[in-house]
Amino acid sequence: SDHTARGIWAMFDWVEFDAPIAKGGGKGWRGYIGYGHYEEEYRKDSHGVWRISYLSHTRIRMNPVVGEPQVMLQGWLPTSKEDWLSDR
């Protein structure tokens, strides 16, 4: 409609911890690689601004990161400017 929009977005993240997990089901993990999706709904408010009215995050898979810390590829991917939301 003119005032409501919905979307499902693919999600991927790579999370690393400072030290491996010491106990429990993830013992030895240095982090994980996660896959899933976000389901979102937006509604336009009385001022015509789109707002998030619903957000759900679902992980469908998690792969452990084990062994030595991964090497960051600094400068390999573009990054957002610090003020990327300042004009919104």
| Interval 9-66: pLDDT, tens | 999 998 888 888 888 888 889 999 999 999 999 999 999 999 999 999 999 999 999 8
Residue 87: what pLDDT?
63
Domain layout of the chain by residue ranges: 4-65
Q: Which residues contact 65 (CB under 8 A, 6 or more apart)?
A: 14, 15, 16, 29, 30, 31, 32, 33
Residue 52: what pLDDT?
96
Which of 31-35, 67-71, 76-80 has the lowest average pLDDT? 76-80
